[in-house]
Structure 1
Amino acid sequence: MEITKNQNKAVDDIVEMVVSVIGKGSREMDATEAISSTARLAGSFLFRSFGFNVADAKPGSAMLSEEANTKGPQLVQITHAVLQKFGVQIDNNKMSGSNRKRAESNFVDAIAQVQGPALEIMKKNDLSYEEMAQSAAIATAFIIQQSVNIAPEEGFGTAIYHYIEGTKTFPPEFSVVSEKPTNTKAPAKEATEPKGGSKPWWKFW
């Protein structure tokens, strides 16, 4: 699977958006909420790529499908491959159900916060729902790699749980987009931040 230049551009925007929207621009953000947000986004946009037309489904309803069973694992594979590229090794012996930590936030409430800005990112980079889902899976790997206070296996397990949730849950409708573009960028760095550094101004804990 080849990731395009536009998909890579979207990855940066997704991470910044999650820090801004879910973390409310805080310098420190809960790792589980950050990982679950991008994983839910990846799963939910992949779900939208299936093109289901269900008139009476309510947001949050379980939607089991062969498409989710077939394409959902691709998100896991992308995240695992990117983690390996980052030098993060996942010990399969440490992977278990107990590592799949669930976010405290409700799926519908959480996805409603990020899906609108994510749609704008998708359109800006001329991506399909499936391509955007793949970008979100890469963003998930990046957040796992940056989360210093949790084991990689815990972060990966959390991502897997919320990928499944996203691909098998009916999402809410997109909100009406304002005429003014939504600012999905995180606040500027404080003056005390060293210039020219390669580290992000935020961290996940």
Structure 2
Amino acid sequence: MEITKDQNEAVNDLVELIAWKLGSDQREVDTIEAISASARLAGSFLFRSFNFQLDSPKPGTVMLSDEANRKGPQLVNITHAVLTNLGVPIDNSKMQNDNQQMAKTSFLDSIDLLQNHALEILNKRNLSYEQFAQSAAIATGFIIQQSGNITPEAGFGTAIYYYIEGTKTYPPEFSAASGEKEKIANQDPKQEVAKPIDSSNESKPWWKFW
């Protein structure tokens, strides 16, 4: 799978968004909250790409689907590939069912906090829901790589747990102010020349994960 220039730029936007909304006055971001938030966004925007047509669905409702089972693993694979490329291999022998660590924030609270800002990023970068989900999966891998207080396996396990939650939970509606932008998100994105992530020119981040 090739990642476009706009998707790469959305990764940076998303990490900055999470640091801004979840960070403390000391510019620190809780590792588990950051990983879960990014993974939930990835799963939730992928869920939106399934385009389910339901009458008055209740946000937070669990929805099992073949689409989630078929497309959800791509988020896991993307994050795994990012970690490998960043020199953070995952030891499969250390991956257990209880690898994940639980976020303090609920799914609905986390998504409500971030999704409207995430939609602005999606539209600014002219991405589809699925493309944005892929960007969020890349961002999740970067956050895990930056998190020195947990093992890569724990971070990866946490991401997997919240990918599953995101792809199988009905999200809240975007705010009314984002209505027109949501329409744009369903249009075909313009094609961009594929470009690998290049972090060599990134400035030093103003935040840190702990």
Give the TM-score taking structure 1 as reference length: 0.88
Q: For residue 153 of structure 1, what is the amino acid of its counterpart?
A: E
Deviation at 1:26, TM superposition (A): 4.4
Aligned residue for 2:55? Answer: 55
Mean Cα displacement is larger for which, 96-105 or 123-132?
96-105
Deviation at 1:199, TM superposition (A): 3.3
**What residue identity is the alignment partner of 1:35?**
I
Distance 1:33 1:22 in 2: 8
1:97 counterpart SS class = coil
Aligned to 1:141: 141
Query: 1:80 corresponds to which residue?
Result: 80
- Give the 3 Å change call, closer, same or farther, for CA 197–120 of structure 1 in structure 2: closer
| Residue 203 (structure 2) pairs with residue 203 (structure 1) | no
**Aligned-residue RMSD, C-alpha:** 1.5
Aligned pair count reads: 188
Structure 2 SS opposite 1:98: coil
Mapped to 2, the partners of 1:197 and 1:115 lie a distance apart of 25
Give yes or no for contact 2:18–2:37 (8 Å, CA) kept in 1. yes
1:106 correspondence with 2:106: yes
Give the Å deviation of 1:198. 4.6
Match of 1:62, SS?
Answer: coil
- Partners of 2:36 and 2:103 within 8 A in 1: yes
Match in the other structure for 1:35: 35
- Whether the aligned pair in 2 keeps the contact of 1:19 and 1:25 (CA below 8 Å) is no
SS at match of 1:76: helix
Aligned residues with identical type, % of pairs: 65
Change (3 A) 1:203 1:69: same
Q: State the SS of the aligned residue for 1:104.
A: coil
Say if 1:7 and 1:131, in contact at 8 Å, map to a contact too. Answer: yes
Partner of 1:64: 64
Please report how far the alpha carbon of residue 202 of structure 1 lies from its aligned counterpart in structure 2 after TM superposition.
1.1
Alignment CA distance shift 1:64-1:6 (3 Å): same
Q: Does 1:92 align with 2:92?
A: yes
- DSSP 3-state at the match of 2:57: coil
Q: Which runs of 4+ in 1 moved over 6 A?
A: none
Cα distance in structure 2, aligned partners of 1:80 and 1:197 = 22
Partner of 1:169: helix, strand, or coil? coil
User: Which residue pairs with 2:9 in the alignment?
Assistant: 9
For structure 2, the residue ranges without an aligned partner over 5 or more in a row are: 179-200
CA distance in structure 1 between the partners assigned to 2:69 and 2:25 by the alignment? 35
* CA gap 1:26/1:13 in 2 versus in 1, 3 angstroms: farther
Aligned partners of 1:19 and 1:26 also within 8 Å? no
The answer to whether structure 1 residue 169 and structure 2 residue 133 are counterparts is no
Please report how far the alpha carbon of residue 104 of structure 1 lies from its aligned counterpart in structure 2 after TM superposition: 1.1
